Chain A
Amino acid sequence: MSALLEVEGVSKSFGGNHVLSDVSFSLADGTLALVGPNGAGKTTLLNIVAGQLSPDRGAVRFRGARIDRLPPARIVHRGLVKTYQVVRPLRSFTVAQHIELFSRVRGSVDAERILALTGLGPVRDRRAGELSFGDLKRLELAKALAVNPELLLLDEPIGGLSRDEARRILGSLEELKRDGMRMIVVEHRLLETLSFVDQVVALDQGRTIFSGSPARFFADPAVRAAYLGGGHAPRG
C-alpha cells in the first residue's frame, strides 16, 4: 500500500535563510509527531503541506497525487486540513456556526459529535471573541474536524496550555486516533504526546535529524545532542 502523505526532498528558503533543506518523510497510517527546537521549520513545513506556501524544491503527494501546486482550498477538498499555531477563529462566529460553516466542505459531519469530542458543548452558542484561551484551542481543533478530514495537521495543539487543559485536548486526540484519524502533530511537549504517537520526525535548522519510532527517538545520539541535550528541554 502506498503512503497517505509523502514529503519528498522539500526545500524552502526566505531570502538567504534556508529554512528547510531536503526534508523527506512519509505517513501511511497513525500519528506522526514533528518535533524540533524553535525556528526549526516545523510550521513552514506544515504550511507547505497544506498549500499555504509552495516549496522551492521537492514534492508533496497525498494519496499518490501531487498537491504542492494546488491552492489551499483544493487541498482541503482532498481531505487534508491544518490548524494554526496561533489560534485563528472567526471572531463574530459562535462555536456552532464555525462547525456549520465548514461542515459542508466535504460532505456531512456530525456537529454534535464534534462538540462532544472537543468538549465545546457548553459554549456552543458563544462567539469566539468571548471564549477563553483553552476554548479557543479546542475551537481550532473543532473547526478543522468540521471539514471531515482524512489527515489532520495540528500545529502545537497544546501550546501555551496548562497541564490540565493540555490533557483535555490530548484526550480528544487519543479518541480521534481510536476512530482511525491520521494526524501530524507539531509539539514541543513530546513526553505528553508520546502516548499516541507512532512515528517521530525531528527537524533541526531545517534538516531531518531523525525519523523513526518514539522508542528509537530517545535512544538516538544525534537527537540527544541537538534536541534533548542542547538546552532545548521540552517546554511546559
Chain B
Amino acid sequence: MASDPLPSPSLRRLVRAAGHTLRSRLYLATLAVMAAFALLADLLGSPYFTLSLILASLYIALAVAWDFSSGLTGYINFGLPFFFGLGAFSTGYLVYHGLHSIPALLALDFGVGLVGGGLFALPTLRLRGPFFTFLSLLLPLIGTDIVLAFWTTFGLPTIGYYGLPFLAPTLEDSLLLLSGANALFLTGFYLLRESRFGLVLRGIRDDEEVLESQGISSFPYKVAAFTLSNGVVGFAGGAYALTTTFAGVDAFGFLFLLFPILIAILGGTGEILGAALAGYAVILLSQYLYLTMGSLTLLLFAGAAILLVLFLPRGLLGLLRKEAA
C-alpha cells in the first residue's frame, strides 16, 4: 500500500475505472473512424469533401454536446443555436477588438458558452421539462433580436463580423484540429456518461422524483451537465465563424438545431458515441444530396427526422443493443 504511485485509493479506483471505460471497443472504433476521415481528406485533397467533413465535425460537436445534456436527462434543449451563435459572435467581437490568437479565441468561446449555458440553466432547470424546453426554444429568437438591436443601436454598416482569421492555414489542418477537439469532447462526455455522474443524469430521465426521494438532489447535476454541454456548443460556434471567416445572424439558424438533434437521435439518444458515428453519415449524405437536390435536401431531412422519431426512437445503437440482447 505504501509504495503505491497514486495518493488515494479512491483516485486509484477512478483512474482504473476510466481506463476500463476507454478500452471499450465502440469507443476505440469511433476514434478510429474520426482518424480515418481526417486521413482520407488529406489523401484526396478535395476541398468540397474536406469542407463537408469540417461541417460534419462541427455538427458532431453539437450533437454530442446535446446528447450528453438533453439525451441523458430527457430535458430537451432547443436553445442550441443560441449558444452556437453566441460563440460565433464572441469570436467576431474579440477579433475586432484585437485578439487574433486562434487557441485563445476558441478557449474564450468555450468560456462564453459555459457562462451563457450556466446563466440559462440556473433559473430554468428548476422548472419541469416541458417548461424548460419552451424557454430554451425562445433563446435563438431572442438572440437574433439582440444582435440586430445591437447593430442598429451602434449604427454599424453591416450585420456581422467579416474577414475573421482562418482556423488553420489549410482546410485539412482545420479538419485535423476539429477532429482532435472532437476526440477530446467525446472522450470527456463518454467518461462522464459511464461514471456515477452519468448514472444520475440517466436517473433524471427515468424518474427524477425517485432520485429526490432517495437522497439525490438532481438540480446541481442538471446545471453542471447543461453548462458543460453549452461550453462545447460555444466552442463549435467559434470554430464555425473561423471556418467561414464570418459571424452573422445565420449562426442562430434552425439548421444548428435540426441536424444535431437528428444526429443524436439516429445515433441512439444518450449513447454519446453513436452521435459521432451518425454525424458523419448524416452530414456527408446531406452534402452529397445538396449537390443534386439543392434546398430540397432540408425538406428531405426534416421528413427523415419525423420518420426516425416515429419508427426508430432508440436510434441505431439502440437497435444494435436490442439485437445483441
A residues in contact (CB < 8 Å) with B:
50, 52, 71-73, 76-77, 81-82, 88-93, 97, 100-102, 104-106, 143-144, 146-147
Q: List 14 A-B contacts (CB under 8 A).
A: A52-B213, A72-B212, A73-B215, A76-B213, A76-B214, A76-B215, A90-B210, A92-B205, A92-B206, A93-B199, A101-B216, A102-B216, A104-B196, A146-B214
Please give the distance in Å from B31's CB to the nearest CB on chain A. 26
B residues in contact (CB < 8 Å) with A:
196, 199-200, 202-203, 205-207, 210-217
Please give the distance in Å from B317's CB to the nearest CB on chain A. 14
- B212: chain A residues at CB < 8 Å are 71-73
CA A147 to CA B203, docked complex, whole Å? 15
Q: Is the CB of B213 within 8 A of A147?
A: no
Q: Tell me which of A71, A81, A92 contacts B214 (CB under 8 A).
A: A81
Please give the distance in Å from B9's CB to the nearest CB on chain A. 12
Q: Tell me which of A93, A100, A106 contacts B196 (CB under 8 A).
A: A100
Closest 9 CB pairs of A and B: A76-B215, A105-B215, A90-B206, A73-B217, A72-B213, A101-B199, A102-B214, A73-B212, A73-B215
Q: Is the CB of A93 within 8 A of B202?
A: yes
- B210: chain A residues at CB < 8 Å are 88-90
Q: Is the CB of A105 within 8 A of B206?
A: no
Q: Is the CB of A50 within 8 A of B213?
A: yes
- B205: chain A residues at CB < 8 Å are 92
Given contact pairs A73-B213, A73-B217, A101-B203, enumerate 15 new A-B contacts (beta carbons under 8 Å): A71-B217, A72-B213, A73-B211, A81-B214, A81-B215, A82-B213, A90-B207, A91-B206, A91-B207, A92-B202, A92-B206, A97-B199, A101-B216, A105-B216, A147-B214
- A101: chain B residues at CB < 8 Å are 196, 199-200, 203, 216
- A100: chain B residues at CB < 8 Å are 196, 199
- B211: chain A residues at CB < 8 Å are 73
- B206: chain A residues at CB < 8 Å are 90-93
Please give the distance in Å from B144's CB to the nearest CB on chain A. 37
CA A92 to CA B269, docked complex, whole Å? 13
Please give the distance in Å from A39's CB to the nearest CB on chain B. 22
CA A12 to CA B84, docked complex, whole Å? 50
Please give the distance in Å from B42's CB to the nearest CB on chain A. 41
- Write the chain A residue with the least CB distance to B214: A102
- Write the chain B residue with the least CB distance to A79: B215
CA A104 to CA B216, docked complex, whole Å? 9
- B202: chain A residues at CB < 8 Å are 90, 92-93
Q: Is the CB of B199 within 8 A of A88?
A: no
- Write the chain A residue with the least CB distance to B203: A90
